[in-house]
Structure formats: structure tokens, C-alpha cells
């Protein structure tokens, strides 16, 4: 996390118009995130000045009250166009947001995979949600970005069947981003940024006068030790770690010692076996 903060600061210094997003499954799944019910991750994302997060399976692993508390603390948009209150059609949060990035208005839509489960919430069909909201969003903005953890197959369906989507940022890839190809079954760009926060995925876009993507470049920064730990992020994590220390590892018990006592019979000398030759030599003549 501290290296990611350093990388993001570097990007912001080098680029005037930047949108930082997360396609979901960020708030739980690691020790500190689980112990703080997502609040430590939210504070870290606030510090890095994220713009939007899509609700995913790991967000819905929180109780509704804990999830609402985390969302209330977030200084970024938390989105899902297809998570509703159970047995209703009422969306749990905003389906999309319009964010000013430089001189462009960017529409960001959140989609949640149907595998996400919560006793009080339900994830409806993400393709249907995209078909409902993208046309409206495209009318309001210069660029439409979908944050999705609905799975590659569903994302490909959206790219092929929903006009107006410019970019899909997919969550959940367990592949090395450097081994991935940018999948563009239509005019929609589909990108993935890796897994477990080990990478920072970067998509650079150039738009023409009609706000059509004329050029794009994809990068994947692996967050190695070449990125120094950001001191502000390090301090934040240390404060949380002081409140929620890692459990002390319990040493494994030593296996009981086994004493082998030979039986009295085993202590007696064993006579060497008598080996008889296969045949005896015949007496030589004259003996």
C-alpha cells in the first residue's frame, strides 16, 4: 500500500488529468482490512485520492451497517448499478458518478458480480444494468468508464452489446498483467490491473475533438521495492497496526520424544550364520 501511494503521487505529478479507480473487492480479504471492517482500506484510498470504487463480493462480505459506515467515511464514490436491497428494486448506492477529469466529463458506472452475497442485499444482472444506465450516462459525459467485477465473460458481453461504453476496468484477474492482452471485441477497451494490490494498472488515453479515443497505451507497474514507501501511508498503517496488531504466531509443539529400549533378547550376541559350501572338493588322487 505504501509503495502504491508513492507510485500514485508520481503519476499525479507527471499528469494533469488523472482518474484513479478500483473495480472492487478491495475492502476485505486481508488481516487489517478485516479487523477494521474495511475502514483502514478506505482511509488509505482517501489518502491516495481515489475517485471511485465499485462494490464487489468482498465489499458485500461486510454487514450492511459496516458497509454503510465504510462508505460514509469514503471521500470517493462507491458505486453499483445492480446491487439492490433484498426483495426490492431499490439500489443500495449510486449507480454511477460524473467526474471532471481535466477538461473532460467522465462517467463512471459500477457493476457487481452476481456471485456477491449479503443477507440484506442482492446483485441483479449486470448486463441488464449496463443496458439501462449507459445510454443515459453517455448523454451526460464525454467518456464512459465501467468498473466491473462481474467476470470476463460478462464484461465481453457488455462490450459487444452495450453501445456507448468506452472503457471497462475489470477486477478479479489472477494473471500477470504483463501477460495480458488488451481485449477489444468492439470499440470498447477492456483492461485488468492484476490482483492483491501488487500492480498499478495504467491506461493512457488520447481523445480527439469528438471525444473519441484516438490512441491508447497500457502499462502495468509492478510495485517492487524500487518504489519507496510513502511516509504518510506508512504512518497511517502504523497507527492502525498499533490498534490491531498481528496475532503472535503460536509455536508448533515439538513432537514427543520416543525412547526405544531394546528387549533382552535383542541385546544377546547373534551368532554368525554358518554358510556351507555348495559342494566339497573330492580327495586328490593318492590320498
Question: Domain limits of the chain?
Answer: 2-243
Q: What is the DSSP letter of 118?
A: B
pTM value?
A: 0.82
**Is 244 a residue whose pLDDT tops 80?**
yes
- Angle at which helix 39-47 crosses helix 231-243, to 10 degrees, equals 170
The CA distance from 42 to 48, in Å, is 10
As a whole number, mean pLDDT of residues 194-204 equals: 78
How far apart (Å, rounded) are the C-alpha atoms in residues 201 and 179? 13
Beta pairing partners, 123: 83
Average pLDDT over residues 6-30: 92
CATH architecture of 2-243: 4-Layer Sandwich (3.60)
pLDDT of residue 218: 87
DSSP H helical ranges for the chain: 2-14, 31-35, 39-47, 57-60, 64-73, 126-140, 152-161, 231-243, 264-267
Amino acid at each position: 500500500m505504501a509503495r502504491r501511494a508513492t507510485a500514485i503521487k508520481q503519476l499525479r505529478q507527471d499528469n494533469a488529468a488523472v482518474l484513479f479507480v478500483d473495480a472492487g473487492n478491495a475492502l476485505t480479504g486481508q488481516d487489517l482490512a478485516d479487523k477494521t471492517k474495511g475502514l483502514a482500506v478506505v482511509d488509505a484510498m482517501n489518502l491516495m485520492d481515489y475517485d471511485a470504487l465499485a462494490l464487489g463480493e468482498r465489499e458485500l462480505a461486510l454487514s450492511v451497517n459496516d458497509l454503510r459506515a465504510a462508505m460514509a467515511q469514503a471521500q470517493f464514490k462507491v458505486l453499483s448499478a445492480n446491487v439492490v436491497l433484498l426483495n426490492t428494486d431499490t439500489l443500495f448506492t449510486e449507480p454511477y458518478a460524473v467526474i471532471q477529469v481535466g477538461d473532460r466529463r467522465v462517467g463512471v458506472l459500477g457493476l457487481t458480480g452476481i456471485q456477491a452475497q449479503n443477507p440484506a442485499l442482492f446483485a441483479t444482472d449486470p448486463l441488464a444494468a449496463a443496458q439501462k444506465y449507459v445510454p443515459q450516462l453517455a448523454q451526460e459525459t464525454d467518456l464512459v468508464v465501467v468498473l466491473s467485477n462481474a467476470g470476463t465473460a460478462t464484461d465481453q458481453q457488455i462490450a459487444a452489446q452495450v453501445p456507448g461504453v468506452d472503457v471497462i476496468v475489470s477486477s478479479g484477474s489472477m494473471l500477470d498483467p504483463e501477460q495480458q492482452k488488451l481485449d477489444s471485441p468492439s470499440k470498447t477497451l477492456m483492461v485488468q490491473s492484476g490482483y492483491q494490490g501488487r500492480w498499478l494498472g495504467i491506461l493512457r488515453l488520447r481523445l480527439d475533438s469528438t471525444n473519441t479515443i484516438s490512441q491508447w497505451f497500457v502499462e502495468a507497474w509492478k510495485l517492487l521495492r524500487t518504489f519507496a514507501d510513502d511516509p504518510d501511508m506508512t504512518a497511517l498503517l502504523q497507527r492502525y497496526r498499533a490498534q490491531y496488531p498481528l496475532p503472535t504466531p503460536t509455536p508448533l509443539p515439538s513432537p514427543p520424544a520416543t525412547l526405544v529400549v531394546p528387549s533382552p533378547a535383542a541385546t544377546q550376541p547373534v551368532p554368525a550364520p554358518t554358510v556351507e559350501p555348495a559342494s566339497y572338493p573330492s580327495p586328490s588322487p593318492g590320498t
